[in-house]
A and B are shown apart, each in its own frame.
Chain A
Amino acid sequence: MIEIKDLTKSYGENIAVDNINFTVEKGEILGFLGPNGAGKSTTMNIITGYIPSTEGSVKVAGYDILEQPSEVKKRIGYLPEQPPLYMDMTVKDYLHFVYEIKKVSQNRKTHISDVMEMVEIGDVQKRLIKNLSKGYKQRVGLAQALLGNPEVLILDEPTVGLDPKQIIEIRNVIKDLGKDHTIILSSHILPEVNAICGRVIIINNGKIAAIDTPENLSKTLTNESKLVVRVAGEESHVIKALKDLTGIKYVEAQGQKEPDSIDYIIEAEANIDIRKPLFYAMSKHGYPILMLKSLDLTLEDIFLQLTMEEEAM
């Protein structure tokens, strides 16, 4: 459905997107992960025809974005990072305007009210957009992308600024849409991508760092078991006791976070559950464990890992 070949975008010397290749199949939900400035939004802006690429080609449903832009634009609904809303219009007027410029063929009244129902903005339809909360603005932006029921949806951080309840609602809407739409969505929240997407592209410094299913990605990431442990007691003694444990690879003191205790990050050999031996060892030495939890891998950690692996090769 979407074919991206050798896509490059440079602003003078600054390369925002560097030779990206990937394809998205019909009906797939693809996640775009990356830190700020990784090139997510730039790639999306190129696919939707907002900015042209420096090199490479983008094809949507077989049409090239530079050669037949209006054929491509007809098939894409786009929610940019900042929803493109006219603050001085009411929600309803705005959607009618978008309906017109997108040359939508569905019945005007029923289609617009269907879309409003889908993202639950029916009760604010007569209000001025500038008076809406951020969450509602985001939903109006999403409604705008859904008008005309385009085959491809490109959503740039669709859940940003929503409260947790709304995030779950919007995710469900996106999942539902994924049944008969092709969706590319960007995010910097790993669990979100995990929950929605069938495949994930991790992008960093304009380059693709990894393409895989969320399951495979987290599998490669969880074979290390890092723990954070808070222990009361003399630092040097505790470190010594920790290092004496069989199966411990690495110990690092994190400093005092609670009075009379020190936090440590410990890493065990793969396939060893260190928690029970840790408990008995600490209790034997008389150092009470105040807290024990596994270290959550953030997106930044994945990046560090992926980029370090690249450098090692």
Chain B
Amino acid sequence: MLAIFKRELKSYFYSPIGYIFVGFFLLLSGYFFATGNLMSGIADMKMVFGNLSIVFLFLVPILTMRLISEEKKSKTDQLLLTSPVSLTGVVIGKYLAAVAVFLISLLITGVYPIILYIFSSPSLGEILAGYLGFFLMGSAFIAIGLFISSMTENQVISAVASFGVLLLLWLIDMIVPFIQNPFIARAIEWLSILRRFQDFTLGILSLSPIVYYVSFSVAFVFLTVRVLEKRRWS
């Protein structure tokens, strides 16, 4: 699993994909930080996280589109599946590599709060909670991308489908006010990945959204393993 993780992480930076992801992530977060904090003189990062969480929907497919589809296409899955490593190990290694690239970009944005601290006194708890929430939500998005990548050999299909699914998860919030049946409305609300994130940016740290995001990620990683397992047997 460690070997898979290391190889996958390196391969992000052997190819332009890693640089494109990190570059655009930093460009966009820098833009939101400059407009939302520096230019408007606001010391809390709520705006940055809010905007970034939407933009991140577009960036996730870059990170996940080739994770498993590429392996199938270049037949390197033959090497992995005939080695004494478990399928679960392979999938987790790949997932963690994508999460690691995300984490690296997120850590670089750590300079923004430092800049804020130099000129002002923002609430530390609020910012840390925001970062934690963003990381957990992003990891859940990546798990969805990983799952979709396991279902096709084609990177373009994988990217477009991941983007579509993530976009739908975002748009799902907008339909809630129009639904009369309170039970269905609640069910849809429960599915909303982004709504839980808003609590974090307000500095509210409760267990339930953390459990939600972690179990969301675990579920999709598990489903990916099942998809691959099933494909071998069919």
Contact = CB atoms under 8 A, between A and B. Distances in A.
B3 A97 contact: yes
B153 to A, nearest CB: 14
Contacts of B78: 45, 50, 78, 80, 84
Contacts of A250: none
Contact of A80 (B6, B10, B75, B85): B75
A84 B76 contact: yes
Interface residues of A, number: 28
A101 B11 contact: no
A48 B79 contact: no
Interface in B63-94: 74-86
A101 B1 CA distance: 8
B232 to A, nearest CB: 6
* Chain B interface helix/strand/loop/mixed: helix
A264 to B, nearest CB: 47
A206 B113 CA distance: 66
A52 interface: yes
B14 A101 contact: no
Nearest to A69: B84
Contacts of A88: 11, 14-15
A14 B191 CA distance: 42
B160 to A, nearest CB: 23
B232 A51 contact: yes
Interface in B169-219: none
A102 interface: yes
Contact of B75 (A84, A93, A103): A84
Given A85-B74, A86-B7, A86-B76, A78 B15 contact: no
A98 B2 CA distance: 12
A85 B10 CA distance: 15
B119 interface: no
Interface string B210-234: 0000000000000000000000110
A230 interface: no
Interface of B: 2-4, 6-7, 10-11, 14-15, 74-86, 232-233
Given A49-B81, A84-B77, 4 more contacts: A73-B83, A86-B76, A88-B11, A102-B84
Interface of A: 45, 48-52, 69-70, 73-74, 76, 78, 80, 82, 84-89, 93, 97-98, 100-103, 144
